[in-house]
Amino acid sequence: MTHTATSSTKAPSRIQQRNRILILDAALEVFSRHGYRGATLDQIAKQAGLSKPNILYYFGGKEDIHVTLLNQLMKTWLDPLKEMNPSGDPIKELLGYVHRKLDMALELPRESRLFANEILQGAPRMRPHLSADLKPLFDEQSRVISNWMDAGKIARCDPGHLLFSIWATTQHYADFAAQTEVLLPEDERRQDGASAYLDQLFIKLLTP
Amino acid sequence: MTHTATSSTKAPSRIQQRNRILILDAALEVFSRHGYRGATLDQIAKQAGLSKPNILYYFGGKEDIHVTLLNQLMKTWLDPLKEMNPSGDPIKELLGYVHRKLDMALELPRESRLFANEILQGAPRMRPHLSADLKPLFDEQSRVISNWMDAGKIARCDPGHLLFSIWATTQHYADFAAQTEVLLPEDERRQDGASAYLDQLFIKLLTP
DNA sequence: TCACTTTTTTACCATTTGGTAAAGACACGA
DNA sequence: TCGTGTCTTTACCAAATGGTAAAAAAGTGA
């Protein structure tokens, strides 16, 4: 067998685990900055502190690394949305979601940019995931929000566009950081500002 | 002289104008999809229907094309923000801005993606522009909004984050179109939905 | 310690990529 | 129709890129 690394037969060794993580971390850095086409194996290798052939010992190729990263991302990316509890207090649940999303954007900006890059490029490698994983969750949570509106617990608005606006406003702080860094003086750049503003924005929208 | 095309000496001929536009249009298509590093001159040449050396007859190189595109973009990109009138009705002015931005995102998605790509990559070629052109305008309009709040004409909130959220929500419809296409059924994908939702969102935020 | 497996390195390779040189084709006024 | 400047093509290049083969080195269990 060419390389055992590809998930198949037996348990991965200590060193295998370490290096795969090293590579994926380096790849995340590079792919999230330059997109799939713009990233090179040499960049990833250098960032990981390994040689290019060594990287190809652990992964089948450039695309394999990218796909692995995307699969991994899809899990963590959807988690905050799943945590929304239909029987909780609607406004609290939605604001909680906003905060989890904002925290994620600020703590995992590379993941956010990786996602943004993939979508910007037309989601060539991710569309199946979007249909299979995101779409059902999106529909389900849209229905939950709709039910809250029907029950008069929150003001009526389009649930889909509501979710879009939550994604847009939170991810903006990760994806457009290069812009906000220019526009906001350093002392105004803390999380508090964004967090307080988004609270205000969505509380006003949702309060009946 | 190697090529007269570089803006210097004399007036550009008919064919020169046509081909430069052809090239810039093709480059916009390619750069906006793949980012600077991911785009290739061959792709641009093919898209433009010209040979690669022919393209290099009109532009100094790959970077020259990208920079030209970015300069061009900066103008049209800032226009909607400039049109906000300090002595008009605040809510009407701000909603007008939201609509102009949304229209632009929907009519010029390639420009929006070009911008997003550049910022995602850390704005390596655009940071000077941001500081020189966007920052002053951002500060000025933030002050205008602040004054409206001081006068009690709109509810108080952070003007900077307000502008961020307008940018985020409107550009989302261009930059993340690949995602919304998966999530929204075709008949719900018209502009009306987004437009009505954003109206609601920002009216509620701004009404005192 | 020794055989055997896993990991890493060295040396390549074909293709792609940004870019150039120079010869041709073309337009157009005199 | 001819000459001169504009535009386009052909034929290249050196470097970068994704990837491979095979040998060398490092581990590892008996």
Average pLDDT score over residue span A139-159 = 98
**CA–CA distance, A27 with A18 (Å, rounded to integer):** 14
B178 and A122 within 8 Å at the Cβ level: the answer is yes
Contact A168 B176 (CB under 8 A): yes
What integer is the mean pLDDT of A183-194? 87
Contact A103, A194 (CB under 8 A): no
> Nearest residue on chain A to B134, judged by CA atoms?
A183
Residue A11: pLDDT band by 50, 70, 90 thresholds? low
Rounded Cα distance, B118 and A97, in Å: 29
Enumerate the nucleotides of strand D whose atoms come under 7 Å of any protein CB: 6-11, 16-22, 28
Residues A111-136: b if buried by 16+ CB within 10 A, e if exposed = bbbbbbbbbbbebebbbebbeebbee
Q: Compute the residue count for chain A.
A: 208
- Return the SS3 of A38: helix
* DSSP 3-state of B125: coil
In a 13 Å sphere around the CA of A204, the CA atoms on its Cβ side amount to 19
d(CA B97, CA B2): 45
Contact B174, B112 (CB under 8 A): yes
Structure tokens at A191: 């999380």
Is residue B1 pLDDT above 90, yes or no?
no
User: Is residue A188 scored above 90 in pLDDT?
Assistant: no
**B143 vs B161: CA distance, rounded Å:** 13
Predicted local confidence at residue B83, as pLDDT = 94
Residue B193: which of A35, A158, A196 has the nearest Cβ? A158
- Of the listed ranges A10-24, B24-38, B46-60, the least confidently predicted one is A10-24
Proportion of chain A above pLDDT 90, given as a percent: 88
CA distances from A198 to A122, A134, B21, B148 (A): 28, 23, 41, 20
The mean per-residue pLDDT over the stretch B159-184 comes to 98
Q: How many residues are recorded in chain B?
A: 208
pLDDT tens string B7-51: 344 567 777 889 999 999 999 999 999 999 999 999 999 999 999
The mean pLDDT of A143-165, rounded to a whole number, is 98
CA of A124 to C1' of D1 (A): 58
What average pLDDT does this structure show over B41-69?
97
Burial class (CB in 10 A: 0-12, 13-18, 19+), B145: buried
Query: Quick check: B82 pLDDT over 60?
Result: yes
Measured CA to CA, the distance from residue B56 to residue B150 in angstroms comes to 54
How confident is the model over A150-164, as a mean pLDDT?
97
Alpha carbon A157 to chain centroid, angstroms: 25
* Distance C29 C1' – A24 CA (angstroms): 65
* Alpha-carbon gap, residue B10 to A134, rounded angstroms: 55
Whether the pLDDT of residue B3 is over 60: the answer is no
- What's the count of helices (H) and strands (E) in chain B, helices before strands? 11, 0
Residue B38: enclosing H or E segment and its boundaries? helix B14-38
For residue B111, is pLDDT > 70? yes
**pLDDT band for position A1 (50/70/90)?**
very low
Residues with Cβ within 8 Å of residue A142, at least 6 apart in sequence? A159, A160, A163
pLDDT in tens, A96-120: 999 999 999 999 999 999 999 999 9
Q: Which nucleotide is the nearest neighbour of B60, by CA and C1'?
A: C19
Q: What is the pLDDT of residue B8?
A: 43
Tell if the CB–CB gap between A201 and B169 is shorter than 8 Å: no
Q: For residue A57, which nucleotide's C1' is closest to its Cα?
A: C7
For CATH 1.10.10.60, list the domain ranges present in chain B.
14-60
Q: Which is more confident, B6 or B194?
A: B194
Kindly provide the ipTM of the predicted complex, given to two decimals.
Answer: 0.92
pLDDT band at A5 (very low <50, low <70, confident <90, very high): very low
Q: What is the reported pLDDT for A10?
A: 54
Report the C-alpha gap between A47 and A110 in whole angstroms.
Answer: 14
pLDDT at A191: 77
Nucleic chain D contacts, Cβ below 7 Å: A 13-15, 39-42, 52-53, 56, 61-63; B 4-5, 10, 13, 15-16, 19, 50-54, 57
| Assigned superfamily of B67-206 | Tetracycline Repressor, domain 2 (1.10.357.10)
Contact B172 A162 (CB under 8 A): no
- Would you call A73 exposed, middle or buried from its count of C-beta atoms within 10 A (0-12, 13-18, 19+)? buried
Neighbours of B202 (CB within 10 A): 23
Distances (CA, A) of A48 to A37, A88, A98, A174, B27: 19, 44, 33, 23, 33
Q: What is the DSSP letter of B147?
A: H
Q: A50 is written with which tokens?
A: 């390994």
Tell me whether residues A196 and B39 touch, CB distance under 8 A: no
Contact A203, A91 (CB under 8 A): yes
How many CB atoms sit inside 10 A of residue A65's CB?
Answer: 26
Nearest CB among B119, B164, B171 relative to A178 is that of: B119
CATH of A14-60, one of 3.90.1200.10, 3.30.43.10, 1.10.10.60, 3.40.50.2300: 1.10.10.60
Sign, Cα dihedral of A43, A45, A51, A54:
negative
Listed in order, the ranges of chain B carrying CATH 1.10.357.10 are: 67-206
C-beta neighbour count of B153 within 10 angstroms: 14
Spatial distance between the Cα atoms of A136 and A133, rounded to a whole number of angstroms: 6
**What kind and span of H or E run contains B168?**
helix B159-175
